[in-house]
A and B are shown apart, each in its own frame.
Chain A
């Protein structure tokens, strides 16, 4: 959801935070990141009507939090949304737990999401992990950060990345992230946004 309302009063601070700036810090309407929200070039004319609901999100998903323990020894417990079917990129697949809707990735040509989840420690790893999985083989580009809808932002540059043609999966992982999904959230719906 954008920081900028769809009607009523708009503040430049709302524009700034939506563009990724820190609340209360100096900015101008002509800053590249701010005018970029409504695709304006430097010095271009703009009116307030163009700003209503402006967002820097390149995709938004409604994620229902679930939990599953695929294998306690080798993978631990996942909390979030996890879809199986990695072996077929063209398949919508099935959600093993939780869900994401609409379930397709705008910035990867409509590829199916396979999951966004927090992974517990397990026998062979003392680290927790954040996972973002998308069906198919994709480049490590096209997005800069994701907001989990629970106050945590994960930046792509800080995440490990892998592709595997057998599993037909692209995955991003972050080691020891905040516990952005927890067992107490199971059944709740969170709004996930990508920038």
Chain B
């Protein structure tokens, strides 16, 4: 269970929470209460994966140049 707070801005709603050493605000406009836990966890993991792969790409680039 992820504890989150709700932020509303210009008609959009975000869930704000900390997860896996990161801070996230995930847009939850039109996401149902039943879906929200799985949704924010999946979205956070996808965002984290993108950051991680760019970091790994940098390491790969460094390795290629050395």
Instruction: Enumerate chain A interface residues (CB-CB to B < 8 A).
Output: 70-71, 74-75, 82, 84-87, 93-94, 96, 114-115, 119, 124-125, 129, 131, 133, 140, 155, 157-167, 169, 171, 173-175
Chain A residues near B56 (CB-CB < 8 A)? 70
- The residues of B that contact A140 with a CB separation of less than 8 Å are 25
Of chain B, the residue at the smallest CB distance from A127 is B46
The total of Cβ contacts below 8 Å across the A-B interface reads 93
Q: Which residues of B contact A124 (CB under 8 A)?
A: 46, 49
Interface residues of B (CB under 8 A from A): 9-12, 14, 21-27, 29, 43-44, 46-58, 61
Query: Does the CB pair A87–B25 fall under 8 Å?
Result: no
Task: Tell me whether A164 and B51 are in contact (CB under 8 A).
Answer: yes
Q: Is the interface of B mostly helix, strand, loop or mixed?
A: helix
Q: List 6 A-B contacts (CB under 8 A).
A: A74-B53, A82-B54, A87-B58, A124-B46, A166-B55, A175-B27
User: Separation in Å of the B10 CB from the closest CB of chain A?
Assistant: 4
Q: Are A84 and B54 in contact, CB atoms less than 8 angstroms apart?
A: yes
Q: Which 6 A-B pairs have the closest CB atoms?
A: A84-B58, A157-B10, A164-B22, A161-B25, A157-B9, A167-B51
Specify which chain A residues have a CB less than 8 angstroms from the CB of B22 in the assembled complex.
162-165
